[in-house]
Structure 1
Amino acid sequence: MYTNVLIFISNNLQLVCLCISSNNCYCSITTTFFVSKNNKSYIQKMKLPCYQNNTPLDPSFDDDLKDVHLVYDYDATDSNGRPEKWRYEIWFFSENKIVYAIHGGPMAGRINYQTVAYQCVRPGEIWQINWLEETGTVVSIVYDIVNKTVNGLLCFSKGHWENSEAAHGDKRNPDDFARWRNLAKQGIQTDRFVLVERAHILKSFKGQGDLEPIEPDAITF
């Protein structure tokens, strides 16, 4: 019979220990967050993945990003170190969704849409767009409106980077979506290929272009 229950909470992590004796405990960790109601604090479990953006969406979003479609080339290198261009395109579909397609580099042939978190650095000039892929890859890009560049940090998961062909396809295809999700299960969190690169914008216009729209509440994980 359990004689004691200990709960420790730190940095949104809840450690619950059921102790039979002073040196015999069974512990588990869950993710939690605090909510306040009538001046009382409550703990609720979070369903992961989960976004928390502490920066309110700047009103300039409507002019700077909403419905904007970019086509850009990353300055990259091939497997032998020779310079080449990796063409991407992205459509800022809504205040929390993007649609994109990759046309160059090892991920060419990948058509996707994601939940994102936007941050305005300077209205009319610079925006940061952040998201998590279903493959486990983390992406953060900085869109420089004035200088017409996109600076990217792409932290590829082991499964995504080492199985680039398996990451091709279209999320609208259930088989592709399921395969991409499985890529996230390979390796551990630190097994990543971290890529930092800059792209020059070739086209900027409003509308979907050749990309297909999605439902506003489309599932992305």
Structure 2
Amino acid sequence: GASTTIGNYVLPPLLGGWAAWQASDQASAWQSKVQIGNTEKIARAVADFALDVGLIEGACHEATLQVTPWLQDTLVLVAAPTHPLARSTPATLDDLREAVWLLREPGSGTRETTDQALLPHLHAYRRSIELGSSEAMQQAAVHGLGIACLSRWVVQDKLAAGQLRCLATPVPAIQRQCHLIVPRHKQITPGLQAFIAFATAFATTPGNAALLQKH
């Protein structure tokens, strides 16, 4: 299982490497099944033994799970180039408080990180639109509906194309830790152990940072 940002932007190159590794190992047969949802749903499914392993970008609140730090992610504040705050001078906190915010739903790792980073400065979102996926948030931002706080993995193509712009604000840089989760009391099969080892190596291999910038 993977939370939505990881599932859409990190899992494809990870599984591409995994499939290539399996082929080079001449495995006789193997199948993978992927479930993508928000962090809360993936953690719950792993805790319920419905999934063998989860890759999540939010904090894990399930006490029965073993949580291992995995990749690091950066979140950025973005808006369309035509947005009033997409200018060379930094936006003020008052500007941000008056803006329309594009937000993920509660239970999303992106929403939890956004709340933790922004609400100490903004106190509340006075005007907001809640959307069920990071891609929907990105498209809404491209069309000028408001400001989004999204993973750089999500927005890098739109930034490069000039469809979005990072905002200069007094809010400190937003970093988050992604995690790999498994049940504490699950018997780890050799196949699952091999995948966990591969995912761990993927996160610590320097060349994969560049690979993720292309997806």
Instruction: Classify the TM-score, shorter chain.
Output: under 0.3
* TM-score, L = length of structure 1: 0.22
Q: Which of 1 and 2 has higher RCO (CA within 8 Å, sep 6+)?
A: 2
Q: Looking at secondary structure, tell me which structure has more strand per residue.
A: 1
Larger Rg: 1
